[in-house]
Structure 1
Amino acid sequence: MQRSSSMRHIWMRRSAIQRRRIKRVLIGAFAASAVLVDAGAAAAQAAAANEQVAISTPPAGSAAWVADHSLGRALPDPATADATTVAAFFASLTPEQTLRLVAEYPLVVGNLDGAPVETRYQANRVAIAAERDRARARAADQKLDATTRALATSRANDSEGLLAKGRQILAFDPRGRGLVSEVYGDLGSAQRVSVLVPGSDADLAHFDQTADPLRSPAGMARALVAEEHRQAADGHTAVIAWTGYVTPSGLGPDAVTSRLADVAAPRLERLLAGLAVTSAPDAPPTLFCHSYGSVVCGVAAPKIHDTRTTDVVVFGSPGMGVQGAAELGEGVRVWATRNPTDWIGNVPYLEVGGLGHGSDPTGRDFGAVEISSAGAAGHTGYLSPGTASLHNFGSIALGDYGDVTHPQS
């Protein structure tokens, strides 16, 4: 009996060692594949990568909000209230009551799916201004070290940029690397709505980049809405750049597991539930999922569709966490593309012990509708002007499926 127990212990130890070796091999394979294509940037990212702390709890101020009974009734709990309940609550408020809640709990109101979008824009301006001022104070604090002050200066500048006239910030959370989502267009009148779900390295500091805009969620969203207007000048559309989850940093361990996607998916589901009660498009929002964002969309897909079909477009995808589109549910139609120069095509399309993201969405047997990305280059070139992928994204967003082009067989 003692010998059997000893042998079992040895076997379990060897299995654990083997699992760790498999993990190291897969992580190395993902990083090395990218390094072969872009040695400098990918290697630097892989070396600097750290596991990220996912944000799953309501924003700051939520505890005080729940404890506030000054209106003579309970306020909807940000952790549990559904979008319909939130919408009904705000519909029952007077303008004065709404303004007071915005002033006292801007982070709660600004992130509450189901609240009126204009109210959320207003609340987020208050929250962003407060974060800018807090960061400026830290930047000027000589008791802090130079690196901390420099980071505070960057945070203040990033926050200030979001306060520019005309910007519509649907969500803002300064915790960690910072979460931010922005609307382009009028959600109230939009007949077609698109949600852009970005991949690794998307956060407040990288939300809107001027040097290489298509590497940022804001730049991609602007390119998509511009294409929609080019194809349908009189169309009523809106695009949401949704950095509503903690994304992987670089090509480290987070990029090869679904851990962050598993936390992100319910947040994406709440966003869509909120849009269902605060906007009225002709069709469910179309999801455009880039890189690791396609893993998020894959996890969320089985719970996001209703009686109408939801279009999910994945590009530069490492996989959706499934072996085929059928696993995502009958109400989901997957469109997929990857250009030949995208390094993501060199990563292993597999899943072993929770590592990797399953089959290639552009594969013949996956079950997605493959679309052309002719003219696109690299991992972030899919929304470049003149590319087939940008044209196709615009057509799908508008519901003009007959205008979509496909790769030549």
Structure 2
Amino acid sequence: MRALYQERGWRVLVAALLVLTAMAGTVGWTLEKGQMPLTGPPPGITAWRADRVSGVVGNLDGAPVSLRYEANARALRLEHSEQRVRSVNPTVPPAGRARARELAARYSALLTPGRQILAFDPRGRGQLAEVHGDLGRARHVSVIVPGSDNGLSTFDRSRDAYSTPSGMARSLHRAAGNGIAVIAWVGYTTPTGLGPDAATARLAAAGAPRLNRFVTALPTVDGAPRPVVFCHSNGSVVCGLAASGLAASELVVLGSPGLWADSVADLRTRARVWAARDDSDWIRKVPNVEFLGLGHGRDPVDPSFGALRVPTGQVEGHTGYFAPNTESLRAFAEIATGSGTVTGRPPTDREAS
């Protein structure tokens, strides 16, 4: 036990030194590399408000699901057409034409029949929400909030599929079976790499109210529980800041650098809180401190935090929690449906070290 506290003390000291170094010598880099988070509704909302169908507003949180799917399909078709034209425009620089071809391919993939795009914003690196399952009739709804380096270009891919937002949602939907809808939500500006945006809560703070609005407006079947929200990596920072207003029944954080809280009680949430982190996950080496705005606070698998522990057998690395045949995926499916035997328990000091 004493050795554990000594190790944590060194982590805090090292983190503080790193922060001071960053403040002393890299302030310009921090300012130059920081992204501007997207705020407010996507472009075109004014037009959608004026374009009423059957007396309801168009592509907005709370609008009928079928209308939102159709609205976003139209927006995707428009963007796809514009990027195809741009990709062969000789007045566009080669790099711009190459980017246009990439975007056209991404939009084409999202327009594949059967895909259900609940939200779409082409600004910046692109933001999306995709539904797996029948959202209008599902007895259980889960939302997955991913971490850094996620946007239009990384929303789904065949390589390392279970590390992508779409792949995580698809895997959970398959594991949980019928009666559930799972939403991959990239509705905030995610950090890129391990730079200053990942070390602070600036982008997460901008994303937290968007997550709250999104979850609150989801349709629910009469008598169904509130949604279950899964938060991976930096996405857990968003969830931690949103927790007090998040309309969730269960809050599950995995591979988390911290929630900007010292305990479950500090989150001020009505949701039951779970935490997962495997020994093979590099995030365990990140110092769990908050110092002058850098860092995200206590490790949620720390026994003193008070979260229930999710088993992580067979998990490999930081992005392996939704991979098939892992204990974590089986536990996630049980938590998502409320039908399993996983009861959770606070982790021991040995497990959290």
TM-score, structure 1 normalization? 0.75
SS in 1 for 2:171: helix
Question: What is the match of residue 188 of structure 2?
Answer: 245
Q: Could you say if the C-alpha distance between residues 403 and 57 of structure 1 is closer, same or farther in structure 2, counting changes exceeding 3 Å? A: closer
After TM superposition, give the deviation of residue 343 of structure 1 in Å.
0.5
Matched, 1:227 2:175: yes
Q: Which deviations, in whole Å up to 9, do the C-alpha atoms of 1:244-292 show, x marking residues without a partner?
A: 11100111100011111111111111111211x5654611100000000
Q: Which whole-Å CA distance do the structure 2 matches of 1:212 and 1:237 have between them?
A: 24
Q: Which whole-Å CA distance do the structure 2 matches of 1:200 and 1:132 have between them?
A: 25
After TM superposition, give the deviation of residue 400 of structure 1 in Å.
2.8
Question: What is the match of residue 235 of structure 2?
Answer: 293
After TM superposition, give the deviation of residue 61 of structure 1 in Å.
2.1
Q: Root-mean-square deviation (CA), in Å?
A: 2.7
Matched, 1:272 2:255: no
Question: What is the match of residue 284 of structure 1?
Answer: 226
Q: Could you say if the C-alpha distance between residues 26 and 283 of structure 1 is closer, same or farther in structure 2, counting changes exceeding 3 Å? A: farther
Question: What is the match of residue 308 of structure 2?
Answer: 369
Q: Could you say if the C-alpha distance between residues 293 and 23 of structure 1 is closer, same or farther in structure 2, counting changes exceeding 3 Å? A: farther
The residue type paired with residue 125 of structure 1 is: A
Q: Which deviations, in whole Å up to 9, do the C-alpha atoms of 1:38-93 show, x marking residues without a partner?
A: xxxxxxxx9xx942220002221234556x5xxxxxx8xxxxxxxxxxxxxx7xx5
Structure 1 residue runs of 4+, over 4 Å off? 18-21, 25-28, 63-66, 277-281, 404-409
The residue type paired with residue 391 of structure 1 is: R
After TM superposition, give the deviation of residue 354 of structure 1 in Å.
1.3
Matched, 1:56 2:56: no
Structure 2: state its 5+ residue gaps.
1-15
Residues 187 and 279 in structure 1, CA contact (< 8 A), matched pair in contact too: no
After TM superposition, give the deviation of residue 145 of structure 1 in Å.
1.5
Question: What is the match of residue 385 of structure 1?
Answer: 324
Q: Which whole-Å CA distance do the structure 2 matches of 1:50 and 1:157 have between them?
A: 28
Q: Which deviations, in whole Å up to 9, do the C-alpha atoms of 1:92-111 show, x marking residues without a partner?
A: x53xx66xx8xxxxxxx33x
1:166 to 99, 114, 121: 114
After TM superposition, give the deviation of residue 385 of structure 1 in Å.
1.2
Q: Which whole-Å CA distance do the structure 1 matches of 2:21 and 2:259 have between them?
A: 19
Q: In proportion to residue count, which structure has more helix?
A: 1
Residues 312 and 333 in structure 1, CA contact (< 8 A), matched pair in contact too: yes
Q: Which whole-Å CA distance do the structure 2 matches of 1:363 and 1:250 have between them?
A: 25
Question: What is the match of residue 395 of structure 1?
Answer: 334
The residue type paired with residue 339 of structure 1 is: D
Q: Could you say if the C-alpha distance between residues 278 and 134 of structure 1 is closer, same or farther in structure 2, counting changes exceeding 3 Å? A: farther
SS in 2 for 1:220: helix
Q: Which whole-Å CA distance do the structure 1 matches of 2:118 and 2:223 have between them?
A: 17
The residue type paired with residue 38 of structure 2 is: I
Structure exhibiting the larger radius of gyration computed from Cα positions: 1
SS in 2 for 1:205: coil
Quick one: percent identity of the two aligned structures? 44
Question: What is the match of residue 71 of structure 1?
Answer: none
Q: Could you say if the C-alpha distance between residues 314 and 190 of structure 1 is closer, same or farther in structure 2, counting changes exceeding 3 Å? A: same
Residues 243 and 269 in structure 2, CA contact (< 8 A), matched pair in contact too: no
Q: Which whole-Å CA distance do the structure 1 matches of 2:69 and 2:41 have between them?
A: 18
1:213 to 153, 161, 168: 161
Q: Which whole-Å CA distance do the structure 2 matches of 1:279 and 1:123 have between them?
A: 23
Q: Which deviations, in whole Å up to 9, do the C-alpha atoms of 1:342-394 show, x marking residues without a partner?
A: 00000010001111101000001001001210110100011111111011100
SS in 1 for 2:84: helix
Q: Could you say if the C-alpha distance between residues 145 and 354 of structure 1 is closer, same or farther in structure 2, counting changes exceeding 3 Å? A: same
* Counterpart mapping for 1:302-321 below 5 A: 302-305=244-247, 310-321=249-260
TM-score, structure 2 normalization? 0.87
Q: Which deviations, in whole Å up to 9, do the C-alpha atoms of 1:202-224 show, x marking residues without a partner?
A: 10110011111012100000110
Q: Could you say if the C-alpha distance between residues 263 and 23 of structure 1 is closer, same or farther in structure 2, counting changes exceeding 3 Å? A: farther
Structure 1: state its 5+ residue gaps.
1-17, 29-45, 69-74, 76-89, 102-108, 230-234
Matched, 1:348 2:287: yes
The residue type paired with residue 198 of structure 2 is: A
Residues 209 and 215 in structure 1, CA contact (< 8 A), matched pair in contact too: no
Residues 19 and 294 in structure 2, CA contact (< 8 A), matched pair in contact too: no
Matched, 1:138 2:86: yes
Question: What is the match of residue 258 of structure 1?
Answer: 201
Question: What is the match of residue 104 of structure 2?
Answer: 156
Question: What is the match of residue 106 of structure 1?
Answer: none
Q: Could you say if the C-alpha distance between residues 23 and 322 of structure 1 is closer, same or farther in structure 2, counting changes exceeding 3 Å? A: farther
Question: What is the match of residue 39 of structure 1?
Answer: none
Residues 272 and 304 in structure 1, CA contact (< 8 A), matched pair in contact too: yes
